[in-house]
Chain A
Amino acid sequence: MRLTVHGTRGSYPVCRAGYNRFGGNTTCLFLRSGQDQIIIDGGSGLLPLGDRLARDCDARHRVHVFLTHPHWDHVVGFPFFRPAYDARFTITIYGADSENKKLEQIFQSQYRSGSFPVAFDALPARMGFHRLQAGDEVRLVDTTVRCIQLNHPGMDLGYRFDSARGSIVILTDLAPIVGNILGLGMKERAADHPHAFEQDYQSMLVDFIKGADLVLYDTNFTEEEIVGKQHWGHSTPQEALQVLGHLDAPPGLVLAHHDPDHDDACMDEIYRLAGRAGGSQGIDVFIAKEGGSFEL
């Protein structure tokens, strides 16, 4: 099982000097799990990834794309995904409906006339959709995938990928929930008992991670920055460590979804501080870097 980072910036792509070690592309991850080729999100990092997949393709290929949520920084690369223009590819897209769009429409709207020159229906690849709801399970050849709803504005899914080689959890994007219930439908479900709802959500999150080897976590903000911005829907390294601290045998933590204002020097410092805090809890801390990978 190998997870490769093709984009890990939050909000929008950052094209500046001083950002090249951690990378400026928005969220796109590639997970090779036995025979299964899995892409998680299609931010701007999908352009170089798609280019490479199409170039390396020597036969028919099947690619599974899991969408956490449809915010721009997670979908903007799809119209430029080269395998979609290649008839040798079969591409299955997994994800949830948004509040006002079906999963299919989330993709088709990106190819609509006036916004993009190619119509979705004209794509040569075989495109399929698999609608998910929180709690669903999908069995691929060598991988089992499960999902839960994360606390982020709109509908956002966290994923867990289990194989014989190990288990990787992707949690992006998500915010601390206490006093800050954000997810689509969550407020309604929490209405009468918000405190109990928050506790249930936190236990569910911890259960979802239990037994995993690695957790990639949205740690966009520092503790200073998150003040007044909790409703933006992102966490901090400390919040991630606190969640992982509930486990007897915590997984490794990968810091991800870097804020566009955090240049390489700033990321070095965030990583250093998180590593020290994790060390005191017995948690290994890693950081997502464009081009970097994690192997189990």
Chain B
Amino acid sequence: MTGCSMTMRFWGTRGGIARPGPETVELGGNTTCLQLELGQDEPLLIDCGTGIIEYARAGAGLSDHHHFHLLITHFHWDHVLGFPFFFPIHSPEATIHLYAPFDEAVILEHVGALFDGTYSPLLDMGNLPATIEIHQLGQERAEIAGVAVSCCPTDHTDPCFAYRFERDGRTLCVVTDHETRDNDANDQLAEFMTGADLLVHGAQFTEEQYLSDFEGSGHSSIQRAIATDEQVGAGRLLLTHHHPLHSDDRLRLHLARVLRQHPRPMPVELAREGRGYDVAARRDSPPS
């Protein structure tokens, strides 16, 4: 069966901190925010870096939506700092469902800290006009906004999770922050990613940068993300979490060089802000 379309749209592709300017206009300067479009009524978003501000701004008829489903990978600034500027928080009609595989108290502590009256005039998340509902995800698969969602821990500097989305025989894995190196966490995550039709993987560094300065940083290089893609047999790879000081041109030139040196042709692209990528079932995948 074909089912509805499944599209992964990027609203933020940078890691670390937003990086405006002419050098990042093409791939985008906003920090991590993705939207999974399934033709559903209620938007499903992953992370709320500054990209979520752009999502809200671009969303014609956004006020028609009353329920937003927002999955969080972890609480580093580049994954949450857009939330205080996400204007549906000021709408009494909106309910924002926050999901993460963390204790409810931990989610509340980290998201609540964005509203402490010091860093913005907003004091106390409980006083926001919108209803914020916290959902603690467990090990078992959950059904969220019409798609099956499961999660797996990554190897990062603080607890962080990858997500796997499955619907109508199509599978998408989103691994924003993970350091690919030889250990049990990596093996477990590789199993989790196996057979994805589309893999979104963080690739903050070049391999040279990674080896010289960033072992233990919790991030992968472009080369390591590509090696993982081959290992888990994903259909297509989208690289994201671009380094804030790497210009679009530098990233494109670097990826082209890596792919030229690669022994086989690889379906790899640099994720671009604003663009939607179809999650298509691979030709060789079994019918469902």
Segment among A11-19, A141-149, A214-222, A270-278 that sits at the interface with chain B: A11-19
Q: Is the CB of B29 within 8 A of A72?
A: no
Q: Is the CB of B120 within 8 A of A14?
A: no
Q: Is the CB of B84 within 8 A of A72?
A: yes
Q: Is the CB of A80 within 8 A of B17?
A: yes
Question: Are A153 and B121 CB-contacts (below 8 A) given A15-B273, A20-B21, A20-B25?
Answer: yes
Q: Is the CB of A12 within 8 A of B85?
A: yes
Q: Is the CB of B116 within 8 A of A100?
A: yes
Question: Are A11 and B110 CB-contacts (below 8 A) given A72-B119, A99-B118, A114-B75?
Answer: no
Q: Is the CB of B25 within 8 A of A17?
A: yes
Distance to closest chain A CB from B108 (angstroms): 12
In the complex, what residues of B have CB within 8 A of residue A115's CB? 75-77, 80, 110, 113
In the complex, what residues of A have CB within 8 A of residue B117's CB? 98-100, 154
When chains A and B are docked, how far (Å) is the Cα of A288 from the Cα of B88?
Answer: 31
**B158 in contact (CB, < 8 A):** yes
Distance to closest chain A CB from B52 (angstroms): 10
In the complex, what residues of B have CB within 8 A of residue A47's CB? 17, 19, 244-245
**B28 in contact (CB, < 8 A):** yes
**B286 in contact (CB, < 8 A):** no
When chains A and B are docked, how far (Å) is the Cα of A290 from the Cα of B21?
Answer: 9
Distance to closest chain A CB from B204 (angstroms): 12
In the complex, what residues of A have CB within 8 A of residue B50's CB? 12-13, 15
In the complex, what residues of A have CB within 8 A of residue B74's CB? 114
Distance to closest chain B CB from A107 (angstroms): 11
When chains A and B are docked, how far (Å) is the Cα of A44 from the Cα of B30?
Answer: 11
Query: DSSP majority for the A interface?
Result: loop
Question: Are A109 and B113 CB-contacts (below 8 A) given A12-B53, A70-B118?
Answer: yes
When chains A and B are docked, how far (Å) is the Cα of A17 from the Cα of B23?
Answer: 10
Q: Is the CB of A117 within 8 A of B76?
A: yes
**A262 in contact (CB, < 8 A):** no
**B203 in contact (CB, < 8 A):** no
When chains A and B are docked, how far (Å) is the Cα of A100 from the Cα of B110?
Answer: 17
In the complex, what residues of A have CB within 8 A of residue B53's CB? 12
Chain A 1-42, CB-CB to B under 8 Å as 1, else 0, gives: 000000001011111110110011100000000000000000
Interface size class of A (residues with CB under 8 A): 35 or more
Query: DSSP majority for the B interface?
Result: loop
Distance to closest chain B CB from A104 (angstroms): 12
Question: Are A15 and B244 CB-contacts (below 8 A) given A72-B119, A114-B158, A117-B158?
Answer: no
Distance to closest chain A CB from B219 (angstroms): 10
In the complex, what residues of A have CB within 8 A of residue B22's CB? 20
In the complex, what residues of B have CB within 8 A of residue A187's CB? none
**B285 in contact (CB, < 8 A):** no
In the complex, what residues of B have CB within 8 A of residue A24's CB? 20-21, 29
The residue on B at minimum CB distance from A154 is B121
Distance to closest chain B CB from A5 (angstroms): 13
Q: Is the CB of B119 within 8 A of A71?
A: yes
The residue on A at minimum CB distance from B51 is A15
In the complex, what residues of A have CB within 8 A of residue B17's CB? 44, 47, 76-77, 79-80
**B18 in contact (CB, < 8 A):** yes
The residues of A with any CB-CB pair to B shorter than 8 Å are 9, 11-17, 19-20, 23-25, 44, 47-48, 51, 70-72, 75-77, 79-80, 98-101, 106, 109-110, 113-117, 153-154, 233, 290
Lowest 4 A-B CB distances belong to which pairs?
A24-B20, A15-B29, A117-B157, A13-B18
Supply 17 A–B pairs (Cβ within 8 Å), ascending by A: A12-B82, A13-B50, A14-B20, A15-B18, A15-B19, A15-B21, A15-B28, A15-B50, A19-B20, A20-B22, A23-B20, A44-B19, A72-B120, A101-B116, A115-B77, A117-B217, A117-B218
